[in-house]
């Protein structure tokens, strides 16, 4: 979840490192640091806090004008945020510095062994052990020292390594954590994410599992962990990475909320031609394969998991196949009934989510084919999947996802309808009707966003509440799960989502005078039932905000205190609309409480460790 960068070339390394770290700050922002080689001397600075704290500390300091350097922005796993726990970490000799993303699971064993040999440690981190072990193995050849140390590490790691005896080179190492190389003109880069250097080059190469690279300004050599040279291809990315500036908005999150119509359009428009769904990237995802599929598993984490919960209704209704949705972190540690008749759909914005990647591998080990729905081209999950559906949502900077969620949801609709056409589980007229509604989604989301001021006025009434409950039934409950997550992660207000039919089985005991209940009631089949649930909580002192469809707005206004309505479309697609006012309500509530909306405490966007 941390972000690492490195540079070797003809320009000032520290300038690039600071700029690149700002691009990666979504991966962790409790501390940051850089190390730069100048005239065979290692110069290092690291600070608790955001990148701007590091930038200010560098003002006027000498020694950071070198052409080779590494940098790191941290999300704490071992040891509290502090200057000393920040990266880069060095060995006792002071010659070697490393930056690390991942977790060294056996670091305490290694640390104790090194202490017995007289090695001193200053931090609480697992990462310092990496620097110390490489340092203790160093006998004049830094590449060999790294290679000899690697087999000792258990866990996941992406490493950038710098040695003052070799000021013109960097070593990169990857095992189960993302790492990508960028190739420029007389300068080369490494980073956790392409966004760190995309302004400088679009020529890239991703390190695969158990690979290393020796990087100089004018050359890059690749090796496996045995030290054997390997060949890799450089590719040029030509997809739209999107803009990483705020575009006049106060926060990235609001910018990305407002970008959802265009993001959904980017996802669906290239896949629809002459009234048909065309998925050219899904090679061999055809009738011959699909006729043997007996079950679908949707595997994901966080908001992507909520996409799975919402999309299950479309997948089951359209394909007539049983669908299970499971958290990747749970799936990988049990014995799921998965075989060659199972289609595993793995959803991940970054394509690097550690638990989702492990679940993918477990599913393939059991014989399943895997479809990846991801945003990042060439990511680990995309590379290992059998079929890949890219959402093309562009860069999403805010930690709380909005447009990635909406793009993933639109992607699942297309997949569900595409499969139903192949399996002939819907009529031609139904197919065309549903496809028309999918094409309408950007316009309908845009219509909701035009009414955002009403949500702001509602938020002003309730932002000081201490507890919020989101209730819904069926597909609306899935939307509540995402709404509650958005609300709690950026407002820091306790919130929970409950299936409304379960209220009487314990949850209603938590309702008291002034408790805010947000009811999502878009499914007409269940409207009367959710209306009864609203009456039940209001009878116990709750106040209620309701999200419903336009034909039901007057009816629900008799029981709810505040109502926001969306257009009526088939219920399987309503999550794409119902989630928008919940995103806005979360944003405005956090804004009114003065929260750090784009970088909420304790969170990072890309979860690449367990």
pLDDT at 421 exceeding the cut of 70:
yes
All residues at 6 or more sequence positions from 507 whose CB lies less than 8 Å from its CB, including other chains:
469, 496, 498
Phi/psi of residue 608, nearest 5 degrees? -105, 10
Q: Specify the pLDDT at position 544.
A: 96
- Say yes or no to pLDDT of 605 above 70: no
Residues 437 and 488 in one domain: no
Query: Is 601 a domain residue?
Result: no
- Find the helix or strand (DSSP H, E) in which 583 lies: helix 575-592
Neighbours of 422 (CB within 10 A): 16
Is 245 contained in some domain? no
Is the pLDDT at 160 greater than 90? The verdict is yes
HSE value, Cβ hemisphere, 13 Å, CA-based, for 455: 25
Asked whether residue 128 carries a pLDDT value surpassing 80, the answer given is yes
Same domain, yes or no: 224 and 370 = no
Residue 310 lies inside a defined structural domain of this protein? yes
CB 217 within 8 A of CB 203: no
Tell whether 597 is covered by a domain.
no
Residues 147 and 36 in one domain: yes
Residue range 97-126, pLDDT digits in tens: 999 988 899 999 999 999 999 999 999 999
**Mean of the pLDDT values across residues 563-581?**
97
Lowest-pLDDT range, 101-110, 232-241, 275-284, 580-589? Answer: 232-241
- Shared domain for 33 and 163, answered yes or no, is yes
The CA-based angle 302-286-420, given to 5 degrees, is: 65
Structure tokens at 257: 């909320």
Burial tier of 273 (Cβ tally within 10 Å: 0-12, 13-18, 19+)? exposed
What's the confidence (pLDDT) of residue 178? 86
Per-residue pLDDT of 456-482, as tens digits, reads: 999 999 999 999 999 999 999 999 999
Which one of 2, 301, 480, 544 is the catalytic residue?
2
Q: Do 584 and 484 reside in the same domain of the chain?
A: yes
pLDDT recorded at residue 310? 97
For the segment 135-141, the average pLDDT, to the nearest whole number, is 94
pLDDT of residue 468: 95
Whether residue 605 lies in the annotated active site: yes
Active site residue 424: no
Class of residue 387 by CB neighbours under 10 A (exposed 0-12, middle 13-18, buried 19+)? buried
Note whether 407 and 380 are within 8 A (CB): no
- Residues 256, 341, single domain; the answer is yes
| Burial bucket for residue 489 (CB in 10 Å: 0-12, 13-18, 19+) | buried
- 380 in a domain, yes or no? yes
Q: Considering the chain, what percentage of its residues have pLDDT values greater than 70?
A: 97
pLDDT 10s digits, 281-319: 787 788 889 999 999 999 999 999 999 999 999 999 999
The stretch 32-43 carries a mean pLDDT of 91
Q: What is the pLDDT of residue 31?
A: 87
Same domain, 282 and 395: yes
Alpha carbon distance 169, 218 (integer Å)? 10
CA dihedral 361, 365, 366, 369 (to 10 degrees): 60
Check pLDDT > 60 for residue 179.
yes
At residue 79, does pLDDT exceed 90?
no
Structural domain boundaries enclosing 501: 452-592
Say whether pLDDT at 193 is over 90: no
Is the pLDDT score of 230 beyond 70? Answer: yes
CATH number of the domain within which 564 lies:
3.40.50.10490
Q: Is residue 602 part of a domain?
A: no
Give the domain CATH number at 114.
3.60.20.10
Is 425 within a domain? yes
Alpha carbons 158 and 606: distance in angstroms, whole number: 14
More confident residue, 491 or 236: 491
pLDDT tens figures, 511-531? 888 899 999 999 999 999 999
Kindly report, residue by residue over 331-352, the tens digit of the pLDDT.
Answer: 988 888 999 999 999 999 888 8
> Is a pLDDT exceeding 70 seen at residue 269?
yes
Q: Tens digits of per-residue pLDDT, 50-78?
A: 888 888 888 878 878 899 999 999 877 76
Say if residue 571's pLDDT is above 80. Answer: yes
What is the pLDDT at residue 608? 54
Domain edge (last residue) among 202, 236, 270: 236
What's the mean pLDDT when you consider all of the chain?
A: 91
Q: Are residues 196 and 207 in the same domain?
A: yes
Same domain, 351 and 308: yes
| pLDDT confidence of residue 320 | 97
- Residue 157 and residue 122 share a domain: yes
pLDDT at residue number 393: 86
**Choice among 47, 175, 552, 605 that is catalytic:** 605
More confident residue, 379 or 550: 550
Report yes or no: 96 and 90 within 8 Å, Cβ to Cβ: yes
Residues 270 and 306 in one domain: yes
Q: How confident is the model at residue 507 (pLDDT cuts 50, 70, 90)?
A: confident
The total of structural domains in the chain comes to 3
Q: Are residues 456 and 347 in the same domain?
A: no
- Let me know: does 3 contact 24? Beta carbons within 8 Å: yes
Is residue 610 in some structural domain?
A: no
């Amino acid at each position: 979840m941390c972000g690492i960068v490195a540079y070797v070339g003809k320009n000032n390394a520290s300038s690039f490192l600071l700029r690149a770290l700002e691009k990666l700050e979504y991966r962790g922002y409790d501390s940051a640091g850089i190390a730069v080689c100048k005239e065979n001397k290692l110069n290092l600075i690291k600070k608790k806090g955001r990148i701007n704290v590091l930038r200010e500390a560098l003002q006027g300091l000498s020694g950071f004008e070198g052409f080779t350097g590494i940098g790191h922005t941290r999300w704490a796993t071992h040891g509290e945020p502090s200057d000393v726990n920040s990266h880069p970490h060095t060995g006792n000799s002071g010659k070697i510095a490393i930056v690390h993303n991942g977790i060294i699971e056996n670091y305490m064993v290694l640390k104790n062994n090194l202490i017995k040999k007289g090695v001193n440690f200053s931090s609480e981190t697992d990462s310092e052990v990496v620097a110390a072990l490489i340092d203790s193995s160093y006998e004049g050849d830094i590449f060999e020292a790294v290679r000899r140390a690697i087999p000792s590490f258990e866990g996941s790691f992406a490493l950038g390594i710098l040695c003052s005896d070799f000021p013109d080179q960097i070593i990169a190492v990857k095992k189960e954590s993302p790492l990508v190389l960028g190739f420029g003109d007389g300068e080369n880069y490494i980073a956790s994410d392409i966004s760190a250097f995309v302004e400088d080059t679009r020529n890239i190469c991703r390190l695969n599992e158990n690979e290393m690279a020796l990087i100089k300004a004018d050359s890059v050599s690749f090796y496996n962990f045995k030290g054997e040279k390997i060949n890799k291809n450089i590719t040029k990315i030509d997809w739209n990475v999107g803009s990483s500036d705020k575009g006049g908005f106060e926060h990235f999150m609001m910018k990305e909320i407002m970008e959802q119509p265009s993001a959904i359009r980017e996802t669906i428009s290239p896949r629809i031609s002459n009234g048909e769904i065309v998925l050219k990237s899904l090679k061999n995802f055809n009738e011959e394969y699909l006729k043997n599929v007996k079950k679908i598993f949707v595997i994901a984490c966080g908001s992507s998991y909520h996409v799975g919960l919402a999309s299950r209704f479309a997948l089951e209704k359209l394909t007539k196949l049983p669908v299970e949705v499971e958290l990747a972190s749970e799936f990988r540690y049990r014995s799921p009934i998965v075989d060659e008749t199972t289609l595993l759909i793995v959803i991940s914005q970054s394509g690097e989510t550690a638990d989702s990647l492990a679940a993918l591998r477990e599913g393939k080990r059991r014989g399943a084919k895997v479809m990846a729905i991801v945003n990042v081209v060439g990511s680990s999950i995309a590379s290992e999947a059998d079929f890949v559906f890219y959402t093309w949502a562009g860069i999403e900077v805010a930690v709380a996802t909005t447009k990635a969620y909406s793009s993933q949801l639109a992607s699942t609709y297309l997949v569900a309808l595409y499969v139903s056409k192949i399996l002939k589980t819907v009529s031609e007229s139904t197919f065309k009707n549903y496809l028309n509604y999918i094409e309408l989604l950007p316009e309908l989301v845009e219509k909701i966003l035009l009414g955002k001021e009403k949500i702001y006025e509602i938020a002003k009434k309730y932002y000081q509440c201490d507890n919020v409950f989101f209730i819904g039934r069926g597909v609306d409950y899935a939307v509540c799960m995402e709404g509650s997550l958005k609300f709690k992660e950026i407002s820091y207000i306790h919130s929970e989502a409950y299936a409304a039919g379960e209220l009487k089985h314990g949850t209603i005991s938590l309702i008291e005078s002034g408790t805010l209940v947000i009811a999502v009631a878009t499914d007409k089949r269940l409207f009367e039932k959710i209306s009864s649930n609203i009456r039940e909580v209001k009878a116990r002192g709750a106040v209620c905000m309701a999200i419903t469809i336009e034909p039901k707005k007057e009816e629900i206004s008799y029981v709810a205190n505040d109502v926001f309505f969306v257009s009526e479309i088939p219920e399987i697609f309503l999550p794409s609309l119902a989630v928008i006012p919940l995103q806005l309500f979360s944003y405005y509530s956090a804004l009114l409480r003065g929260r750090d909306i784009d970088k909420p405490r304790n969170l990072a966007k890309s979860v690449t460790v367990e």
